[in-house]
Structure 1
Amino acid sequence: MNSKIRIKLSFMMFLEFFIWGSWFVTLGTFLASNLHASGSETAAVFSTQSWGAIIAPFIIGLIADRYFNAEKILGILHLVGAFLMYQMYISTDVTLFYSYVLGYMILYMPTLALVNSVSFNQMKDPEKEFANIRVWGTIGWIIAGLSISYLFHWDSPEATAQGLLKNTFLLAGIAAFVLGIFSFTLPKTPPKVSDEKIKIGDIIGLDALKLLKDKNFAIFFVSSILICIPLAFYYQNAHPFLTEAGLENPTGKMAIGQISEALFLLLIPVFFTRYGFKKTILIGMLAWAIRYVLFAYGNAQDLSFMLIIGIALHGICYDFFFVSGQIYTNSKAGEKYKSAAQGLITLATYGVGMLVGFKVAGWITDNYKILSGGVDWKMVWIIPAGIALAVFLIFALFFNDKSNSKKEVASI
């Protein structure tokens, strides 16, 4: 890959995740402060990510992979997305806002696969080259959070009270417009020409259901869905909680989670080799429970370090469970069901699991509102901590796969 193409792909990845990080982190606080949304309404808005994840494989499998160049579809989706972002920016009603964000997520989630397709198409050795491109996506998310807190100060108490958080949608919309135009300059990525009849089961990974006959994989599969319930609490409630707690520059500080994610990703091979898959994934599950206990008992004054540690645990929470889970799925599926298995796990976690998780998080938040108008955050965090601990115990007791972890490490 020549340097010009590498720069283009890196810039593409940077903008792809800069867009997401620009508005999704502060979404919960925006909904509460600007649109006065209830917990259930907030849950419905966050659930659009799950609907986007469910619908995305059909857009990719039925359209992108067969009829049009990936870079052109990427450009069109982001240009339409920029328009929807502007509509979200000017929205003052949560019902209308929901329709715009639903449309946006249905368009955005497929772009996550498209940027990968464009990248892989230019690589001779993706296993060695892709990480150096993908890391710019993480940098983009981090820069978005730091900009909101330390450059624009939109998440300060004064700015939030003035409704300035809506500017995050304008920022994301501008970035989406730039990426939409830029996409048409990316290297050509033609569709996969195939005369085979499309099977819906192939698109959503139904062939991989055969793997559920393996008791250990079935336990992992169910655990993956259940652990998404506490994950949804973090996405939906972390920023509003940190803002209400009075933590300064909460969006910028939440970027510590992405820095942690990048660092702990490098440690997965070490943990796999030394401790194996089961212990690695159990550490990830336990980290969810610990982080929520830290949130429950920490504060923005003398115990602010507990909140920071809770944010920093994101790398262990996400990488040690989800990335490890993808590696385990890859090793169990084999060549025949590899793609189908990954599609099924994605559908189960970001689709079904997160959909249930956001619903539960919204219901819990509504049921623990206090008379002063705030939320009993201690209980809102103790409950997902308990759920994560329960999943930890289920997995520890019933998962007994003794497969060789070195084979799994080789697939990283």
Structure 2
Amino acid sequence: MITIGVYWFQTKHWSGSEFGAIFSTLGISSLLMPALTGIIADKWINVELLYAILHILFGCIFLYLPQVQDPHTFFWIILLAMLCYMPTIALSNSIAYTLLKKHQYDIIKDFPPIRVWGTVGFIAAMWVTDLTHNKASVGQFYIAAIAAIGLGIYSFFLPPCPPLKSKAENASFGGRLGLNAFKLFRNSKMALFFIFSIFLGGALQLTNMYGDAYLSDFGKQAAYADSLVVRHSTIILSISQISETIFILAIPFFLRRFGIKQVMLISMLAWVLRFGLLAYANPINGLWMIILSCIVYGMAFDFFNISGSLFVETSTSAHIRSSAQGLFMMMTNGLGAILGSSVSGYIIEHYFTSRQGQMQWQEIWICFAAYALVIAFLFSFLFKHKHDPSALQEIKEAGA
């Protein structure tokens, strides 16, 4: 996710609009596959076995990627890989919840310390790819493939998580896909929230798409060619994931103090700051801007995802709550990701790339910052939500 931009632009020299299509595969596969594989796991196959099979298939597909020599074929191969990979995010949560409940652990207390190792793994993958000098080579695909196949083989030996057929039989196909929650669009407040989720979801992947390519591009300038940022751009960007783990711990304080709407607005303004800092940064005198932008990322990413999830939790009835959470994820990781990746790729190629093929990074980041600022401005005036500390307390007590 982080380094494929370097491979795309600096090694293959393919176009920006085609790169946007590559990242849209995350959104496309997020629309249906997690729910479909959830149905399969609920009715016919152990969760850990399905999880293992999908990771091995993903790894095998990635082993083929280095052989692809044209961007159109690359898109279809990546899409096939993402159709296997994206469902594993939800399945890993299901495995964890099943085993924790089976052994009578407190999910609210014990799951987050387990889940945080996923972020640690994200950081480790970035460091390994960087330190082995594979951020611009096909080696990154081999690293991903070997890790995925290894995880798949390991997963065959996890404790069994058998299908919960009764649960599946009581849920309609539409309900399992989250379609029941679409009735929430009848409520103007909820409809507005989901619309903003799409537009902010469009911003969530922009720095994942272009961040490493941007930092690596400084290597074309003699003054920065041997700088730490250019040599280890992926490690520098991993500060963003480290920041995520810190800001997760700060969310309860901000929610109690400011409320859900203000925390979501803080997230949007953090995106403005994130993009704005990158627009004027450089690897030497502006290194502090790069570091600060990575720190701000944790606030920008976590605050909207978690506060948005809590808004859904406190604004929907119990019988539709799971579907509503699925709809929230569909808006951000599905439609939002497709919108952000496709539109940004088109705009960059047609308006912010010189005739010599050089990307005009300062203008790109300013454009992204302006986009996030407009979203924040509209959200602050159009979205009405009163801070209710008692609603958050009810969630805490329910999970205790």
Give your verdict on TM over 0.5.
Answer: yes
- Matching residue within 7, 11, 19 for 1:30: 7
**Structure 1 residue 153 corresponds to structure 2 residue 125:** no
Q: Match of 1:309, as an amino acid?
A: L
Match in the other structure for 2:328: 345
Q: Give distance in 2, aligned partners of 1:229 and 1:405.
A: 30
Q: Give distance in 2, aligned partners of 1:393 and 1:315.
A: 21
- Matching residue within 292, 316, 319 for 1:309: 292
Q: Give distance in 2, aligned partners of 1:298 and 1:275.
A: 31
Q: Give distance in 1, aligned partners of 2:125 and 2:42.
A: 31
Match in the other structure for 2:116: 135
- Matching residue within 169, 189, 194 for 1:221: 194
Q: Give distance in 2, aligned partners of 1:48 and 1:410.
A: 38
**Which of structure 1's runs of 4+ aligned residues deviate more than 6 A?**
none
Do 1:225 and 1:353's aligned partners in 2 also have CA atoms closer than 8 Å? yes
**Structure 1 residue 289 corresponds to structure 2 residue 269:** no
Q: Give distance in 1, aligned partners of 2:323 and 2:32.
A: 15
Match in the other structure for 1:178: 150
Match in the other structure for 1:401: 385
Q: Match of 2:11, as an amino acid?
A: N
- Matching residue within 331, 336, 348 for 2:314: 331
CA offset at residue 209 of structure 1? Answer: 2.3
CA offset at residue 344 of structure 1? Answer: 0.6
- Matching residue within 319, 325, 348 for 2:302: 319
CA offset at residue 406 of structure 1? Answer: 4.1
Q: Match of 1:400, as an amino acid?
A: K
- Matching residue within 191, 209, 232 for 1:236: 209
Share of identical aligned residues, percent?
Answer: 35
CA offset at residue 323 of structure 1? Answer: 1.3
Q: Give distance in 1, aligned partners of 2:204 and 2:347.
A: 14
Q: Match of 2:140, as an amino acid?
A: T
Gaps of 5+ in 2: 220-228
CA offset at residue 403 of structure 1? Answer: 4.6
CA offset at residue 365 of structure 1? Answer: 1.2
Q: Match of 2:369, as an amino acid?
A: A
The C-alpha deviation readout for 1:199-237, integer Å capped at 9, x for no partner, is 332123222223333333222211111112222322221
- Matching residue within 237, 253, 259 for 1:254: 237
Do 1:204 and 1:347's aligned partners in 2 also have CA atoms closer than 8 Å? no
CA offset at residue 313 of structure 1? Answer: 1.2
Query: For residues 61-140 of structure 1, what are the structure 2 equivalents within 5 Å?
Result: 61-123=38-100, 124=104, 125-140=106-121
Q: Match of 1:39, as an amino acid?
A: G
Aligned to 1:79, the other structure's residue is in SS state helix
Paired positions, count: 380
Q: Give distance in 2, aligned partners of 1:268 and 1:331.
A: 16
CA offset at residue 265 of structure 1? Answer: 0.5
**Structure 1 residue 358 corresponds to structure 2 residue 341:** yes
CA offset at residue 105 of structure 1? Answer: 0.3
The C-alpha deviation readout for 1:168-223, integer Å capped at 9, x for no partner, is 11011111111111011001001111373763321232222233333332222111
Q: Give distance in 2, aligned partners of 1:400 and 1:93.
A: 48
Give me the TM-score of the superposition, normalised by structure 2. Answer: 0.91
Do 1:44 and 1:359's aligned partners in 2 also have CA atoms closer than 8 Å? yes
Aligned to 2:355, the other structure's residue is in SS state coil
Match in the other structure for 1:4: none
Gaps of 5+ in 1: 1-23
CA offset at residue 348 of structure 1? Answer: 1.1
